[in-house]
Amino acid sequence: MPLEKARIYQNVVMKLSVLRFMVKSLSKRGKTDLNRDCESFFATVLNLVYGYALKNVNEESLNEAAIDLADEGRKLCVQVTATSDSGKIKKTIETFNKHKLYEKYQELRFLMLVDKKKYTTAFETNDHFTFDHKAHVHDIDDVLAKAESLDLEQMKALSDFIDKQLPSVSHALEPDSLLASAEQNDGKPPKTAARYLRETIGNEEEREWAEDFGSLLELHKQLMALSRNQREVISYMFEHGGGSQFGYRIAISIQTLQQRLKIDANEMHDYYRSLNNANLVDVDDEDRPQKFELTHRLRGSRNDAFWMLKDFLTADEAKRLIVDCDFSVLD
């Protein structure tokens, strides 16, 4: 294996092994329910490793009986579980048959996030579909063995995805873990922001050009100091918010934000406190707040940065800027 590919593969092995250890530790404490973030994470991992087109069916319906992931084109579905005993497999097959999922899917597979066992049980499918535990039950070691055969570009795509998504998955499973706080985000500050400043100010010689650029550097620094989850809340407000009654700022109903993001009042208050301390979010009324307002004043033009950026950026550029802190979209 070439040196660069070996280095990248080693990163994949290390990160997935740490996640497996975390799931195993939780399982020993009786916590076997996986967060949907974890299921979606492994959907993409399996897609990158095996070439599938799996989707998290739990995101499309409240709960697709017996399965978590599905590739409808291949008529393939996967149960992702932190329970590896034969009883779990039996129960899933029974539920699969009960709901006649064999009419939609021809193949049922399992991804065990803990070590799979040496099964001796006969798994009865009532002849509705073929199930061979040696071929259809996988664990992390199986995924890693398959990943080793990927080419360099495929391996890099897998490694980059794991590096980017693993902290948020770990946070969903166990918020206080060290891995959850080990978020990696290099970001990209603006080099000149010339494309943005030329369109919004127009005259490169004016004092506002330099002052607004300084404000954008400050905004980049403030966003970098937040967690990815906090930036995703800001991104949602940016995308779905409207105008404020108090001026040119983006505002969104607090109740709408809670309902759409499925955040309870206490968690929403924590988000507000953090974002307000960062001087990026305000409320429309201190005594009876109904809306959150994004705010970051540009020193030169005296306009609000978020309001100006909303007219300038495409939806994809906005997510790159806010969530990934990639301000190169302004250059």
Q: What pLDDT is recorded for position 62?
A: 42
Phi–psi pair at 245, nearest 5 degrees: -75, -10
pLDDT in tens, the chain (331 residues): 567 888 899 889 988 988 888 888 877 777 666 666 688 899 999 999 999 999 988 755 544 567 999 999 999 999 999 888 999 999 999 999 999 999 999 999 999 998 999 998 889 999 999 899 999 999 999 999 999 999 999 999 999 888 888 877 766 666 655 555 555 556 899 999 999 999 888 876 677 888 899 999 999 999 988 877 789 899 999 999 999 887 789 999 999 998 888 878 887 888 888 899 889 999 998 888 999 999 998 887 778 999 999 999 999 999 999 999 999 999 9
**What interhelical angle do 228-240 and 305-312 show, nearest 10?**
70
Q: What pLDDT is recorded for position 70?
A: 94
Q: What is the Cα–Cα distance from 171 to 173, expressed in whole angstroms?
A: 5
CB 316 within 8 A of CB 326: no
Name the residue type at position 200: T
Q: What pLDDT is recorded for position 177?
A: 59
Q: What pLDDT is recorded for position 304?
A: 92
Pairing mode, if any, of strands 107-112 and 69-71? Answer: unpaired
Q: What pLDDT is recorded for position 130?
A: 86
Q: What pLDDT is recorded for position 292?
A: 95
pTM for the model:
0.55
Q: What pLDDT is recorded for position 104?
A: 92
Residues 6+ apart with CB under 8 A from 298: 211, 212, 215, 216, 304, 305, 308
Q: What pLDDT is recorded for position 182?
A: 55
CB 39 within 8 A of CB 80: yes
Q: What pLDDT is recorded for position 179?
A: 57
Q: What is the Cα–Cα distance from 157 to 141, expressed in whole angstroms?
A: 19
Residues 6+ apart with CB under 8 A from 231: 223, 322, 323, 325
Let me know if 175 is exposed, middle or buried by CB neighbors in 10 A (0-12, 13-18, 19+): exposed
Q: What is the pLDDT of residues 60-101, one digit of tens each?
A: 554 456 799 999 999 999 999 988 899 999 999 999 999 999
Q: What pLDDT is recorded for position 63?
A: 44
CB 193 within 8 A of CB 204: no
- Which residue in the block uniquely carries the two structure tokens 């300084």? 214
Helices (H), 174-241: 194-200, 207-224, 228-240
